[in-house]
Amino acid sequence: MAYTEEELKKELETKEYEYGFYTDIESDTLPKGLNEDIVIAISKKKNEPEWMTEWRLEAFRAWQEMEEPEWANVTYKKPNFQDISYYSAPNKKPKYDSLDEVDPELLDTFKKLGISIDEQKKLAGVAVDIVMDSVSVATTFKKTLAEKGIIFCSISEAIQEHPELVKKHLGTVVPKKDNFYAALNSAVFSDGSFCYIPKGVRCPMELSTYFRINQAGTGQFERTLVVADEGSYVSYLEGCTAPSRDENQLHAAVVELIAMDDAEIKYSTVQNWFPGDKEGKGGVFNFVTKRGLCEKNAKISWTQVETGSAVTWKYPSCVLKGDNSIGEFYSIAVTNNFQQADTGTKMIHLGKNTKSTIISKGISAGQSQNSYRGLVQVSSRADNARNFSQCDSLLMGNRCGAHTFPYIEVKNKSAQIEHEATTSKIGEDQIFYCNQRGIDTEKAIALIVNGFSKEVLNKLPMEFAVEAQKLLEISLEGSVG
Amino acid sequence: MLEIKNLHANIDDKEILKGIDLKVNAGEVHAIMGPNGSGKSTLASVIAGKEEFEVEEGSIVLEGEDLEELSPEERAHKGIFLSFQYPVEIPGVSVTNFVKTAINESRKARGLEDMPANEMLKMIREKSELLEMDRKFLSRSLNEGFSGGEKKRNEIFQMAMMEPKLAILDETDSGLDIDALRIVANGVNKLRNKDNAIVVITHYQRLLEYIVPDYVHVLYNGKIVKSGTKELALELEEKGYDWLKEATV
Ligand SMILES: Nc1ncnc2c1ncn2[C@@H]1O[C@H](COP(=O)(O)OP(=O)(O)OP(=O)(O)O)[C@@H](O)[C@H]1O
Ligand SMILES: [Mg+2]
């Protein structure tokens, strides 16, 4: 997306969270609260087969026995899980084949987001599956994909149309009982995306999903499952924006990636949920479980730009099961005002000659806290495993914090693990140097931050990189003074 | 072009500049010499508008406009350029990207559109050739890992790109090898014209053999204690600064 300098400037002038509006689309919402009946009701509403209902119930029972984790370096008022409505779907279904059929108000929403389908469609090679609240509203480019045998649809649709694939893979990378939030998600997930790339197929376009939380008091529980069959390739983009709300909104997604032998998955995220206002009120709680499984010679790359949420708890991970498999994690996490982020990754080396790379860039401003937490684990049979980790922190001002918690567990002597960490501050002399060249302070900061983040920005697909840069600027706006 | 009158400047309540008068006309080259710590870089920073320094008294006027209220970037937009004694590093920002941003920000301030990409590229090619710069530098992170001499050459490259009215070169010669000094000095000479002015701060007469000054000033303990023509530089090279100390106290 080509944003002009002018547009960028305008964006920067808006002080309030610009996507903080509420779309008034009629919704079909379940009463607040969570029990077995609600879980069954969700499943019924979605016409799910019985095995799916059972699966959800098992997850729910497991969740009831679990405790919310305490160890992350974040503090927040725990959500009251009985005070959340677990299902909300836009009323005006069904799905649309063309934009003309789409609710004009919805289109308007996309316009405000600056990522209208209209624009997306024109943008060659990007298929968009938009999750508006919980149910996918529009899917485009499906036909082109179908010709290659690629399946890209909502997970609900996949449960109906491709039950064998879903049954085979769902929960194999992130088990139902994996953790508190994953169990909750497994019980009540409302929708999400499903993607399957057949053997030897290179997906010809970036697959893209824009998520959005839209219903007051509705937690969102997406479920994403990407399966890349042997020798296939796919690049998947995920992006989010959310309207502002007074009460905290809970978000607990699960993303599972499966890269079979010789397959490659690139998963990129630009996350921009409402971080709360300047006093730290409101904002999204983002507790996400993302994990990928690599078979032989397979490769999974997670790239993420995190600018939003009041509280973020997120560790995209790779299980390097197959020999010679590769896991990568490239991350930029920005925190401003009162945001708290605890993010990082886990690289689990099981196979021989497995390699992993971790590049984490944390930018903290205001009174925010930004933590990197990474685990590199090498099992006893993972001969010649290699890991390189680099964690850089950039601080703006004296009231914010950056923390690094690297954990390394090695059970095989042939492993080579390297860890580098730096902390820097934007210097007065850097700013003056830029000023002297005619660059004002706001722009200078943007330049310095972009430079700092470059290694990660470079990993994003082109149009996403532009959007990410824009988000970096917006989220750090007003952080100097 | 530039007129400084009775300039006093402090940092942390310590007076560094103690009443400076300096007048530079368009088309002229002025050299400022003086011992370490005498206030040369401070003077350059104060002209450029560095906010840590407090101007207690006096004025700086550029083309009839008092600069007092102007921010460093506004002064840059008016055509002031400072080649830093110690250029800073900006990791991840390429020389090209930095220069492009600098030029376009200045153009924007003057109500102009961004410079078209092809024009920018042409200019970059010309100026990098003028300074015999290896093109590889242009894609490297600004000053990161540059040698001392490379940093200085890169400052002059930026000067060539920005086409300032008033350029202040703070010890641009230090760190340059003999060939580089000649190349950079020739570059500066090519940028000279009747409408701009250059102030060179240096410790060495050698630079002034290439960039021949119209006037030489000696800054000593925050004051200009002597001004003269280029011969003064030769005299200083021979005698040092001690004789001036006696002359002023
Ligand atoms: N930020 C600062 N804080 C305190 N003192 C300062 C600061 N900047 C400069 N000074 C002092 O001001 C005086 C003049 O410094 P300045 O850098 O202008 O000298 P100079 O003439 O450029 O010297 P050199 O030839 O070594 O470059 C010195 O005594 C220096 O220590
Ligand atoms: Mg100096």
Q: What is the DSSP string of B2-55?
A: EEEEEEEEEETTEEEEEEEEEEE-TT-EEEEE--TTSSHHHHHHHHHT-TTSEE
Q: Atom 5 of ligand 1 has which residue's CA nearest to it?
A: B11
Regarding beta strands A340-349 and A317-320, do their DSSP bridges make them parallel or antiparallel, or are they unpaired?
A: parallel
CB contact under 8 A, B93 and A439: no
Helix (H/G/I), strand (E/B), else coil: B63: coil
By Cβ distance, the residue of B80, B92, B106 closest to A454 is B92
Q: Let me know: does A117 contact A138? Beta carbons within 8 Å.
A: yes
Q: Do B173 and B207 form a contact (C-beta atoms < 8 A)?
A: yes
> A212: CA distance to ligand 1 center in Å?
55
CA of A435 to the centre of ligand 1 (A): 20
Query: Mean pLDDT of all residues in chain A?
Result: 79
Q: How far is the CA of B44 from the centre of ligand 1 (A)?
A: 11
Question: B229 CB near a chain A CB, below 8 Å?
Answer: no
Q: What is the pLDDT of residues A238-279, one digit of tens each?
A: 875 554 454 557 788 899 999 999 999 999 988 776 666 767
pLDDT-based confidence at residue A203 (cuts at 50, 70, 90): very high
d(CA B106, CA B110): 6
Q: Which of A79-88, A243-252, A468-477, B230-239 has the lowest mean pLDDT?
A: A243-252
Question: By the CB < 8 Å criterion, does B158 face chain A?
Answer: yes
For residue A440, what is the nearest residue in chain B, using CA coordinates?
Answer: B73
Residue A291 to residue A171: CA distance in whole angstroms: 11
Question: Is residue B247 within 8 angstroms of chain A, CB to CB?
Answer: no
User: Touching check for A423 and chain B: CB below 8 Å?
Assistant: no
Residue B160 distance to chain A (closest CA, Å): 12
Q: What is the mean pLDDT of residues A343-364?
A: 95
Please give the average per-residue pLDDT across A175-196, as a whole number.
91
pLDDT (tens digit per residue) in A110-138: 454 454 444 434 332 334 455 444 344 34
pLDDT, averaged across chain B: 93
Each residue's pLDDT tens digit, B96-135: 999 999 999 999 999 999 999 889 989 999 999 999 998 8
Which 8-state DSSP code applies to residue B113? P
State the ipTM, two decimals.
0.96
pLDDT of residue A76: 73
Amino acid in position B121: L
- Position A8 confidence tier, pLDDT thresholds 50, 70, 90: very low
Determine the atom of ligand 1 nearest the C-alpha atom of B219. 21
Element (H, E) at B176: none
Yes or no, beta carbons of A433 and B87 under 8 Å apart? yes
Q: Would you say A385 and A415 are in contact if contact means Cβ atoms under 8 Å apart?
A: yes
CB A368 within 8 A of CB A335: yes
Ligand 1 centroid from CA B37, angstroms: 5
- Chain A and chain B share a number of CB contacts under 8 A equal to 76
Quote the radius of gyration of chain A (alpha carbons, Å): 21
Residue B11, ligand 1, Cβ within 6 A: yes
A427 CB neighbours in chain B (<8 A) are 88
Q: Is A94's pLDDT higher than 80?
A: no
CB of B36 within 6 A of ligand 1: the answer is: yes
Averaged pLDDT, A466-473: 76
Residues of chain A with pLDDT > 70, as a percent, come to: 73
Pick the most confident of A112-126, A135-149, A337-351: A337-351
Specify the number of domains making up chain B.
1
Q: Is the pLDDT of residue A36 over 70?
A: yes
Read off the pLDDT of each residue in A294-316 and give the average, rounded to a whole number: 88
- Nearest beta carbon to residue A430 from set B80, B90, B101: B90
Q: Using 50, 70 and 90 to split pLDDT, how confident is the model at A142?
A: low
Mutate to test the interface with A, among B78, B85, B89, B93 (most CBs of A within 10 A): B93
Q: Looking at residue A100, what is its pLDDT?
A: 58
Q: Which one has a higher pLDDT value, A217 or B213? A: B213
What's the predicted TM-score (pTM) here?
A: 0.80
Does the CB atom of residue B20 touch ligand 1 within 6 A? no
Pick the more confident residue, A138 or A468: A468
Q: Strand order in A355-364's β-sheet?
A: A135-139, A126-132, A206-212, A233-241, A264-272, A299-306, A326-335, A355-364, A386-395, A416-425
- Here the CATH number for the domain that contains residue B235 is 3.40.50.300
Find all residues with CB under 8 Å of A269, minimum gap 6, and list them.
Answer: A237, A238, A239, A240, A302, A303, A304, A305, A306
pLDDT at B223 over 90: yes
Closest residue of chain A to B88, computed from CA coordinates: A430
Distances (CA, A) of B135 to B140, B149, B154, B159, B182: 9, 16, 11, 17, 19
Distance from residue B14's CA to the centre of ligand 1 (Å)? 11
Q: What is the C-alpha separation between A272 and A19, in angstroms, rounded?
A: 10
Residue A393 structure tokens = 């922190």
**Mean of the pLDDT values across residues A216-241?**
81
Whether residue B76 and residue A428 make contact (CB cut-off 8 A), yes or no, is no
Range scoring the smallest mean pLDDT among A80-84, A100-104, A232-236, A406-410: A100-104
B86 C-beta closer than 6 A to ligand 1: no
Atom of ligand 1 nearest to the CA of B45: 18
Residue B70: domain span: 2-248
The pLDDT > 90 percentage for chain A reads 45
Looking only at the bridges linking them, the beta strands covering A151-154 and A191-197 are antiparallel
Q: Between A430, A435, A448, which is nearest B71 by CB?
A: A435
Question: CA of B11, closest CA in chain A: separation in Å?
Answer: 15
Cβ-Cβ contacts under 8 Å for B204 (sequence gap 6 or more): B173, B174, B237
Q: Mean pLDDT over residues A428-442, rounded? A: 94
Contact list in B for residue A332 (CB cut-off 8 A) is: none
Chain A contact present for B221, CB below 8 A: no
Q: How confident is the model at residue A27 (pLDDT cuts 50, 70, 90)?
A: low
